[in-house]
């Protein structure tokens, strides 16, 4: 028999004790990992060099065992559709066209527990019921990560930027500085709303038709950027179009990439995602401003005279001392990313609210009376917005009935195996989500859930005597539009105040009409307001 030549060059021959030592070390490595740190230099055979080939074999076996273990845990979760390797792919293609029906079937069969559905690039575990929602709410980031799920959902490495998912410091800026400064910046935001409406919707005596979604994009992008970069850039049409187009492209490219297997994503993304061009354009718009602010800070310190109170300044404050984060390129990527968050959901929510208001003129006078009363008492301020309980209820009910932007809510990705309170285990690396629209249409949560009741939540607040419990910004087990728990949307306070300011301007200045609320559009698991529907506007008429 030929002698066995060890990978480190030792002639190990056919010695039984040597083979036993090798097997014992392999077993220890498979069970406990490579000992003594660096797998490349660990000496399995007491030789002088690392056992590279053996290490690669060991790692391959460990990965194979991990796949088998994960599959076994997933197999314990019921499947809606087929669980076979080939048949699940067929069902994944069906999901692209029938996501809503498939998820509804799963909810009926497995309400209050977990089930899984095959997507083209992964399995999605889906849960429903307050117990499961509460389990996700209580989970830590190290157990279930919202950001990891968002990186996958938005395919951030290709669409927005890897750095945003790797170091999401902007979340703390939004939760902290942005929220604290809403009141201080609110007059500027309202001024921009007024200017944007004047530019995009003529105030005429005759009815004019307006593409609701397209105009909402323009107005909301301008209003948000008044707080992000200020004048005059927030009125630069090229800059506004850049952020709108980048937002639309980011989501549309992400939807496409999520339909592909992982190995194809970088190839397709290279040819289809316009992120590099968007970043280059943003650098041209923001470069001079960023360099000037950095210079002023170097000369005069953080609180230099004239330092603007806006998002760009807050991002600079948050990255003080982190040189690699304070480049024109990195800050431009961050500003594009912040705009994606600000534009996307707020525009869709406002579009839906506008449709409902235009289709139901019987709600207008009640809302106008409240708006005028609060503004008379508080001025056109954030404090006045906070007291508009009926407007808040109207917007929240719109979100409840029309606002779920797909079948999934509260998406998370397991960083380690996660056990629900009933013992169901979600293996590490697997995504889990709540059936959000079913939560909002559940008879256990809402009386007459399919009926639009504009004062549903304001009446609840009045009846229960709890001023904050049923506010639009307050997540609960039966209202998860903004998520719930540690990862609830950090920008929801700004978004809700912005939405109220937009609705106030319309109520105070326009009459609006549409025959009926247009049906939503679906693409795979995602839902959108109708982007081609028009709403008729005219200057408000006063009645005696």
Q: How many secondary structure helices (H) and strands (E) does the chain include?
A: 22, 14
Lowest-confidence pick of 36-50, 257-271, 409-423: 36-50
- Where in the chain do CATH 1.10.630.10 domains reside? 156-403+443-477+481-539
Q: Domain 156-403+443-477+481-539 adopts which CATH fold?
A: Cytochrome p450 (1.10.630)
- Does residue 11 register a pLDDT over 80? no
Q: What is the mean pLDDT of residues 306-327?
A: 95
CA 282 to chain centre: 22
Phi-psi region of 324 (alpha: psi -120 to 50; beta: other; left: phi over 0): alpha
State the residue for tokens 């902007």.
170
Q: What is the mean pLDDT of residues 82-93?
A: 76
How far apart are the C-alpha atoms of 161 and 340, rounded to whole Å? 12
* pLDDT value of position 6: 32
Q: What is the mean pLDDT of residues 455-464?
A: 90
The percentage of the chain sitting over the pLDDT mark of 90, rounded to a whole number, equals 67
* pLDDT value of position 1: 35
Whole-number mean pLDDT of the chain? Answer: 87
Q: Is 489 annotated as a binding residue?
A: yes
Residue 330 pLDDT class (50, 70, 90 cuts): very high
- Does residue 36 register a pLDDT over 50? no
How far apart are the C-alpha atoms of 211 and 235, rounded to whole Å? 20
Task: Convert the pLDDT of each residue in 187-237 to its tens digit.
Answer: 999 999 999 999 999 999 999 999 999 999 999 999 999 999 999 999 999
- Does residue 359 register a pLDDT over 90? yes
Which residues, other chains included, contact 163 with Cβ-Cβ below 8 Å and sequence gap of 6+?
Answer: 330, 333
Kind and range of the H or E run holding 434: strand 431-435
- Does residue 542 register a pLDDT over 60? yes
* pLDDT value of position 43: 45
Residue 119 pLDDT class (50, 70, 90 cuts): confident
Helix ranges (H only) for 206-327 are 212-228, 237-257, 265-272, 275-300, 311-318
Bridge partners of 343?
A: none
Radius of gyration of the chain (CA): 27
Bridge partners of 435?
A: 408
- Does residue 13 register a pLDDT over 90? no
Task: Convert the pLDDT of each residue in 45-77 to its tens digit.
Answer: 444 455 555 555 555 555 545 554 566 788 889
* pLDDT value of position 262: 84
Q: What is the mean pLDDT of residues 90-98?
A: 84
- Does residue 44 register a pLDDT over 70? no
How far apart are the C-alpha atoms of 317 and 521, rounded to whole Å? 41
């Amino acid at each position: 028999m030929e002698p066995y030549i060890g990978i480190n060059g030792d002639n190990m021959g056919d010695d039984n004790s040597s083979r036993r030592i090798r097997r014992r070390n392999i077993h220890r490595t498979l069970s406990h990992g490579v000992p003594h740190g660096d797998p490349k230099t660990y000496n399995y055979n007491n030789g002088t060099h690392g056992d590279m080939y053996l290490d690669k074999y060991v790692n391959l076996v460990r990965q194979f065992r991990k796949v088998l273990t994960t599959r076994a845990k997933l197999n314990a979760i019921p499947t809606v559709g087929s669980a076979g390797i080939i048949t699940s792919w067929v069902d994944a293609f069906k999901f692209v066209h029938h996501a809503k029906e498939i998820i509804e079937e799963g909810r009926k069969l497995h309400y209050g527990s977990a089930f899984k559905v095959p997507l083209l690039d992964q399995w999605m575990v889906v849960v429903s019921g307050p117990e499961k929602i509460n389990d996700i709410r209580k989970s830590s980031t190290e157990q279930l990560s919202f950001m990891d799920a968002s990186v996958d959902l938005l395919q951030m490495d290709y669409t927005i930027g890897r750095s945003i998912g790797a170091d999401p410091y902007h979340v703390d800026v939004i939760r902290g500085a942005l929220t604290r400064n809403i009141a201080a910046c609110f007059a500027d935001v309202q001024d921009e709303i007024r200017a944007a409406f004047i530019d995009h919707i003529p105030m005429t005596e005759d009815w004019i038709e307006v593409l609701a979604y397209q105009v909402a994009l323009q107005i909301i992008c301008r209003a948000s950027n008044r707080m992000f970069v200020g004048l005059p850039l927030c009125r630069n049409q090229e800059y506004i179009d850049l952020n709108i187009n980048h937002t639309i492209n980011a989501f549309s490219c992400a939807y496409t990439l999520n339909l592909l297997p992982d190995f194809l994503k970088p190839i397709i993304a290279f040819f289809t995602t316009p992120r590099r061009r968007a970043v280059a354009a943003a650098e041209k718009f923001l470069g001079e401003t960023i360099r000037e602010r950095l210079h002023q800070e170097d000369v005069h310190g953080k609180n230099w005279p004239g330092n603007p109170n806006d998002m760009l300044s807050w991002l600079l404050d948050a990255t003080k001392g982190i040189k690699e984060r304070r480049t024109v390129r990195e800050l431009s990527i961050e500003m594009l990313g912040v705009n994606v968050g600000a534009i996307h959901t707020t525009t869709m929510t406002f579009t839906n609210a506008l449709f409902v208001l235009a289709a139901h003129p019987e709600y207008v006078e009640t809302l106008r009376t409240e708006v005028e009363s609060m503004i008379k008492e508080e001025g056109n301020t954030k404090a006045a917005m906070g007291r508009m309980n009926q407007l808040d209820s109207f917007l929240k009910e719109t979100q409840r009935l029309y606002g779920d932007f797909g079948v999934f809510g509260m998406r998370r990705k397991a960083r380690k195996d996660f056990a629900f309170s009933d013992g169901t285990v979600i293996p590490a690396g697997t995504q889990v989500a709540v059936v959000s629209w079913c939560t909002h249409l559940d008879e256990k949560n809402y009386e007459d859930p399919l009926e639009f009741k504009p004062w549903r939540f304001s009446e609840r607040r009045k009846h229960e005597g709890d001023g904050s419990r049923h506010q639009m910004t307050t997540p609960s087990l039966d209202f998860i539009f903004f998520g719930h728990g540690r990862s609830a949307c950090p920008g929801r306070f700004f978004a809700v105040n912005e939405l109220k300011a937009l609705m106030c301007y319309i109520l105070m200045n326009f009459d609006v009409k549409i025959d009926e609320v247009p049906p939503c559009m679906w693409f795979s698991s995602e839902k959108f307001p109708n982007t081609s529907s028009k709403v008729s506007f005219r200057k408000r008429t006063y009645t005696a």
